Amino acid sequence: MQRLRRLLSRRSARRAEQRFVVEGATVLAAAVDAGAEVETVFVAGADPVPGAVTAAVQAAAAGGARVYRLAPGVLERVADTVSPQPVLAVVRTPHPGLEVLDDATFVVVCVAVRDPGNAGTVIRSADAAGADAVVCCGTSVDPFNPKTVRSSAGSVLHVPVVADADVDEVLAALDARHISTWAAVAHGGRPYTEIDWRRPSAVLLGNEAVGLPAAVAASARGAVTIPLAGRAESLNVSMAASVLCFEVLRQRSNLHAVELCP
């Protein structure tokens, strides 16, 4: 149980062991479906176990995971939530590198996005909109933080997520692959609907409080802004990511529709 606590609470432990923890039947099922290596599963001692949990645990066990049934109250003392899910699992951390950019046409780059919930929602939106990869660089939160994993609803296992990347190396890799970079800024950029997102593109998202570093924004092909009609100063970074990602999807879906027309 001490190991499980360390993996839940310490980024250094997750990095050293190359393992992280998933919580709940939905995310465990996503890990199995994604072909992730599920090492160990812990099931709460409550009786009866919900059917969805049983199905996810059985699928993990069929893939070679060891399954342990915990005594009542043990999982609650280990988990980092007030009302924990009835199942936790230790999963090998995927480690895609910048080679995932080789065939990419749409990438989301997080530069110093530090809130776990925001990062998870960005990953979930990128996955839902069909992004080829998410890259977390600078001082961004660990994408395999338990809160980020929960917020991603399993998407951290569906879309390649590069962690701990160097921002300069990321920008150089995108440039080498002729992927246009667009700095998301609160004001002063081109309206997001005026960008041709059908071309290979990357969206650069900055810190929740201060946005992108000036040098990073200056290195981009251009700046993109979501115009606001009301009195709100700006959008939350995860909400902005969702708007931008689905504009990319909208434009590319229209392109595909045109291509399929006789």
CATH of residue 112: 3.40.1280.10
Q: Do 129 and 174 belong to one domain?
A: yes
Over pLDDT 70: what percentage of the chain? Answer: 94
Contact call for residues 33 and 14 (beta carbons, < 8 A): no
Q: Do 256 and 139 belong to one domain?
A: yes
Q: Do 124 and 236 belong to one domain?
A: yes
Q: Which amino acid is at 45?
A: G
CB atoms within 10 A of CB 62: 9
pLDDT of residue 140: 96
Q: Do 223 and 108 belong to one domain?
A: yes
pLDDT of residue 201: 98
Domain boundary among 92, 122, 152: 92
pLDDT of residue 47: 66
Range of the structural domain that residue 45 is part of: 2-92
**For the segment 47-64, what is each residue's pLDDT rounded down to a tens digit?**
667 788 899 999 999 999
Q: Do 209 and 238 belong to one domain?
A: yes
pLDDT of residue 36: 94
Domain boundary among 50, 67, 92: 92
Q: Do 40 and 137 belong to one domain?
A: no
> Is the entire prediction scored with pTM above 0.85?
yes
Q: Do 111 and 140 belong to one domain?
A: yes
Average pLDDT, the chain: 92
Residue with tokens 């900055």: 206
> What are the tokens at 86?
């009835």
Higher per-residue pLDDT: 258 or 252: 252
Q: Do 147 and 220 belong to one domain?
A: yes
Contact call for residues 60 and 41 (beta carbons, < 8 A): yes
Structurally, how many domains does the chain consist of?
A: 2
CB burial string 192-210: b at 16+ within 10 A, e below: beebebeebbbbbbbbeee
Q: How far apart are CA 127 and CA 116, in angstroms?
A: 17
End-to-end Cα distance, the chain: 61
DSSP state of 99: G
Q: Do 77 and 119 belong to one domain?
A: no
Q: Do 201 and 106 belong to one domain?
A: yes
Domain boundary among 57, 92, 127: 92
Q: Do 117 and 166 belong to one domain?
A: yes
CB atoms within 10 A of CB 114: 15
| Range from 68-72, 100-104, 119-123, 145-149 carrying the lowest mean pLDDT | 68-72
CATH of residue 33: 3.30.1330.30
Q: Do 45 and 155 belong to one domain?
A: no
